[in-house]
Each structure stands twice: as C-alpha cells, then as structure tokens.
Chains A and B, each alone.
Chain A
Amino acid sequence: MEAHAHASVGHAELEIPYNVHPRPDTGVYNGKLGIWLFLASEVMLFGALFSSLILLRTGAESWPRGYEFLNIKLATFNTFILILSSVTVVMAWSHLRLGNLKKGRIYISATVLCALIFLTAKGFEYSHEFHEGRFPKTNNFLGIYFTMTGLHGLHILGGVIVFLYFLGPGAKMWAKEPERYTNRIEIVGLYWHFVDLVWIFLFPILYLM
C-alpha cells in the first residue's frame, strides 16, 4: 500500500487525507462535504431573496401578476431544458464511474449545450421586456424578477465555466487520477442540480403567480 495519504516534507503538493476516498467514520470525501456546505449557504442566499419577495409582495398596494406579460411558453421550455441538463450531468458522472471518459465528455458537453440554450432563451426574454419598456426599476415585481433570474443566470454561467474547464484543461486529471476527476464532476453536478432546483421554484413563483 503506497502511503498516498501520508504527509511528508519535501513533496511539491501536500497530500490531504480523504480528498478522493471517503473518511471511514463520516463516509464522505472532503469535496462532497464541502459542496453541500456551499449549497447550504446558497439556500440561505436564494432564501433571502424569496423572503424579500414575500415581504415586498404582501406589503404592496398593487402587484402585477407575472403571466400578464412574461413569456410562459419560453419559460416552460427553459424549465424542460434545465431539467434535461440535470439528467445529462448525472449521466456524465455515471459513465465516468464506469470508466468511460468519452461518453462522460459527451454528456458534459450536452449539459453545457442545454445551459447555453437556457441562457440564450433568457436573453431573448430580457430583451423583449426591455423592448416593451419593462425594466427592473419599473416596479418592484420586475425588480425582483430581474434580480432573481439574473442572479440565477449568473450561477448558470458560473457552472458553464466550470464545466468547460473540466472539458478542457481540467480533463488532464483523468489520465493520472480518474477517481478524483469523477469526484470533481460529481461535485459540480451537485451544484448544477441545486441551480436546477432553484429554477424549479422560481418558475412557478415568478411566472405563474
């Protein structure tokens, strides 16, 4: 057994225990715990925005209903696309666990494609709203709509950047440490599912209420 978790002087990069294989008593590897903690903070971030939406809406004299002018068909399409991207990323991770980098990369690329379609559709939505003279400052509903979907969109963009990294320079890790690479995709996948989860709640609350 090579002591690959043994900390020693003189190595270029320090070996951190439980980076790849789980710690026996907790059953998780470091990155898994780390990403769930990060997602916990994201729950509080989006939760605060939902909370603000509720406070503003229940205190407002008048509040427009989203469906009066927002594009429900496009948003429904976007919801399907995002759910599809959640499936593709979990398929990617499964294929990587089966040792198939090629199929893994295909599914990661599919995820990125779905994400870009989502962002493009969002772009059309936003420009349509601006065209009709509806801006964040027009009223508080639009303000919260643009802020929440905008922040969500930034999270999608962040995920795309990370996926592209793992398709590109990050893929070198597969040759030397395939399990570590697979774990990384699992971690990004968890982040991605969370972004999907937020949209699952954003969609009805903003568009259908």
Chain B
Amino acid sequence: MNDPAAAVEPGADVHEHAGIGDPNAHHHSPEHILKEMRTYLVVFVSLAALTAITVFAFYQLKTYPLKIAITVALIIATIKGFLVAGFFMHLLSEKKVIYAVLIITVIFFIFLMALPVSHHANPFGS
C-alpha cells in the first residue's frame, strides 16, 4: 500500500488477469475465430442472394405503385444492413457503451428524416 508501483494503477492492463469475468477471453480462442469465419461466409451468401432478390423484385414491381416498390426495396436493404452491421461489424455482440452511442444516433437520425416530412406535411394555409 505504501509503494505506489506495487499497487494496480488506474490505467493498468488488466487483460493479463483475465478470468471468468473477462468479457474478451473467449473471443481469442482459435476455434471461436474459425467459427466466426464460417458465419461470415454464410452471411456473404445471404447478402448476395438478397441483392439478387432486390433486383429481381424491382423488375417484378415495375408496374406497381412507387410506394410499394420503395417499401419492398427498403425492407430488403434493411435486412442486408442488419446482416452487415450485426455480423461483419459484430454489433450483435457489442458492448453497452457502443449500443448507447448508436441508440442516440438513431434517435437523431430519425429527427433528421423528419425534416423533409415536417417541411411538406403542413404548408402554410393548410
């Protein structure tokens, strides 16, 4: 206690003391990494398929009203987006602080998208 160097300092590397409580311990095992690589390939195939579906759906929906075509395209794009974000960017297993940043961003992104709506929804005199 009297020798500062002996105590664990605030910036100390606690990774070496990884034990049951270390959230990163299991991520470093080769088996886990190989398993992840297999997942990436599955996701890639899914993304390629969804891209093909997007284009296919586009040709099918050409004669339908625009709103339907937009909705379908955006739904497929959102699914693709979730796959990229969830697996490639490993968001599905991320930490709370990252989720907090993203939730805040999503909320403000919604405000930003509300911008054109607020512009057109209620013009003067309506």
Contact = CB atoms under 8 A, between A and B. Distances in A.
Does chain A bind chain B? yes
Interface of A: 1, 3-7, 15, 17-18, 21-22, 24, 26-28, 32-33, 36-37, 40, 43-44, 47-48, 50-52, 54-55, 58-59, 67, 72, 76, 79-80, 83-84, 86-87, 90-91, 94, 97-98, 189-190, 193-194, 196-197, 200-201, 203-205, 208-209
B13 A21 contact: yes
Interface of B, helix, strand, loop or mixed by DSSP = helix
A98 B115 CA distance: 46
Contact of A193 (B33, B37, B85, B109): B85
Given A87-B88, A189-B88, 9 more contacts: A6-B11, A22-B23, A27-B97, A33-B98, A40-B102, A83-B84, A196-B88, A204-B73, A205-B73
B88 A193 contact: yes
A79 B51 contact: yes
Interface string B79-104: 01100110011000001111001101
Contacts of B41: 87
B113 to A, nearest CB: 6
A26 B99 CA distance: 11
A4 B48 contact: no
Contacts, number: 149
Give the residue among B13, B16, B37, B66 with the most A Cβ atoms within 10 A.
Answer: B13
Contacts of B73: 204-205, 208-209
A197 B4 CA distance: 48
24 contacts: A5-B9, A6-B12, A7-B11, A17-B12, A22-B24, A26-B97, A36-B101, A37-B101, A43-B105, A52-B116, A83-B51, A84-B44, A87-B40, A87-B41, A90-B40, A94-B33, A94-B36, A94-B40, A190-B89, A193-B85, A197-B81, A200-B84, A203-B77, A208-B54
Q: How large is the interface on B (under 10, 10 to 19, 20 to 34, 35 or more residues)?
A: 35 or more
Interface of B: 5, 9-16, 23-24, 28, 30, 33-34, 36-37, 40-41, 43-44, 47-48, 51, 54-55, 58, 66, 69-70, 73-74, 76-77, 80-81, 84-85, 88-89, 95-98, 101-102, 104-105, 108-109, 112-113, 115-116, 119-120
B113 A47 contact: yes
Contacts of A197: 81, 84-85
A28 B13 contact: no
B123 to A, nearest CB: 10
B109 A47 contact: yes
A54 B98 CA distance: 29
Contact of B89 (A18, A50, A193): A193
Contacts of A26: 95-97
B55 A4 contact: no
Contact of A54 (B36, B109, B113): B113
Contacts of B48: 80, 83
A192 to B, nearest CB: 9
A94 B101 CA distance: 25
Given A6-B11, A90-B88, A209-B69, A32 B98 contact: yes
